[in-house]
Amino acid sequence: MLSLFFAAFALGLIFNAAPGAVFAETIRHGVRGGFKPALAVQLGSLVGDATWAILGLAGIGVAMQFDALRWPIGLLGTAYLLWLSYDAWRAARAVHLMQGNEGTQSRQAWRSGMMLSLTNPQNLAYWAALGSAMGAVGVVSPTAHDYAVFFTGFMVSSIAWSFFCAAVVDRVFRQVGASWARFTYQLCAVALLALALSNLRQLMQSAPQLVQPLPQVERTV
């Protein structure tokens, strides 16, 4: 069981350390409010991660039609990324927006992290594939207990990463001056826009054939 736990712990670190929308949003809120808002983004994202993990490990993701879920989830996620990009660019133009009530900032950051994770269609595919590939970590016929151990290892890793990431963001970005803060916000806006466009491109590539070509009819004389 320890080997399964540590395998899940390592996979959790790899999963969470990959740069993406959650990391960009963590930096954005860390520049504004420091450790607590940055941590709130990370912890909020765990709500979505845990949801997709439970669905994937339970095998529900395999049984469901991916296209029926990936499109509405992906479009919602793309729209949310575009809004965050606009919001980050707008905030970069106003220094006073970087200050505010800490409790309000943390609540907004938590909701933002949760929405980014819940509307990420890649999480659905990731956990559906991982849930059906437990043999890769030495479990041929996984039981409910094995799934629970794997889930626990992943979530412990994710929580540890959340605190580490928030601390790094606070240490690196919190004390920057106003000009660097604006630049950081602009970089986050560009990163979020690029992620939104990449998300949309992947959706278009995986789009089902919506328009079927008309069958050719041979003319008879």
Q: 92-147, pLDDT tens digit by residue?
A: 666 544 455 556 678 889 999 999 888 876 776 666 666 555 666 666 677 778 88
Is residue 56 one of the residues assigned to a domain?
A: yes
pLDDT of residue 10: 85
pLDDT average, residue stretch 76-81? 78
Question: Is pLDDT at 65 greater than 70 in this prediction?
Answer: no
Q: What is the pTM of this model?
A: 0.72
Residue 52, burial from CB neighbour count under 10 angstroms (0-12, 13-18, 19+): buried
Domain that holds residue 90: 2-205
pLDDT of residue 86: 80
Is residue 217 one of the residues assigned to a domain?
A: no
For residue 142, give Cα distances in angstroms to 12, 134, 171, 186. 19, 7, 42, 46
pLDDT of residue 156: 94
Is residue 211 one of the residues assigned to a domain?
A: no
- Higher-confidence residue of 219 and 74: namely 74
What are residue 217's phi and psi, to 5 degrees? -115, 125
Is residue 215 one of the residues assigned to a domain?
A: no
Is residue 221 one of the residues assigned to a domain?
A: no
Instruction: Work out how many domains the chain is built from and give that number.
Output: 1
